[in-house]
Amino acid sequence: MAAIEYTGFTDAQSVNNSKRDNFLYKDISLYFTRNPVTSDVATVTDIQDIKRAVRHIVLLNPGEKPFHPEIGTGVRAALFQPFSAPLKALLSSRIEDQLRKYEPRVQVTGVSFIDGDNAQLMDNNTLHCKIEFNVRNAPQQTEEVNIFLQRIR
């Protein structure tokens, strides 16, 4: 009987011809849709997962995440303030800081805002935030997340 040597890798992990890291980012879909093949909860992978995480961190207000009051940008609270250049600079630095601390998969390249006063098609109660970033596994590819906020009160 021949001795079997176990290496700690399965066949799929040891033979990977991908140009990227062999780690796949994967999470469940928050819409809880059903996967038609497995009848399990659908998943989101790679760029979709990273974009969703970036959006989630940006939309959190400080104190909303249980046991972590330091996480949050306060972007939604800015809808009720006069949107000036110093406020834009403060929010963009908060966004960059939070993503640097809590989303290690991305490297932020730019944060820009278009408020309702400057946009022709938007009213005064909206804010458009555009976040551009590179994924650390694929630094040559720039991705962006657009977040539209609207004041309803």
CATH number at residue 86: 3.10.450.40
Give the count of domains, the chain.
Answer: 1
In a domain, 12, yes or no: no
In a domain, 4, yes or no: no
In a domain, 7, yes or no: no
pLDDT digits (tens, 9 = 90+) for 56-65: 999 999 999 9
| pLDDT of amino acid 93 | 95
| pLDDT of amino acid 133 | 95
| pLDDT of amino acid 11 | 39
pLDDT digits (tens, 9 = 90+) for 36-45: 888 888 887 7
HEC-encoded secondary structure of the chain: CCCCCCCCCCHHHHCCCCCCCCCCCEEECCCCCECCCCCCECEEEHHHHHHHHHHHHHHCCCCCCCCCCCCCCCCHHHHHCCCCHHHHHHHHHHHHHHHHHHCCCEEEEEEEEEECCCCCCCCCCEEEEEEEEEECCEEEEEEEEEEEEECCC
Task: Name the token pair of 142.
Answer: 């720039």
pLDDT confidence band for 153 (50 / 70 / 90): low
In a domain, 123, yes or no: yes
In a domain, 9, yes or no: no
pLDDT digits (tens, 9 = 90+) for 93-135: 999 999 999 999 899 999 998 765 554 444 566 788 999 999 8
Residue 104 is part of which domain span? 23-29+39-150
In a domain, 34, yes or no: no
In a domain, 108, yes or no: yes
In a domain, 6, yes or no: no
| pLDDT of amino acid 16 | 40
| pLDDT of amino acid 123 | 52
Average pLDDT over residues 8-13: 40
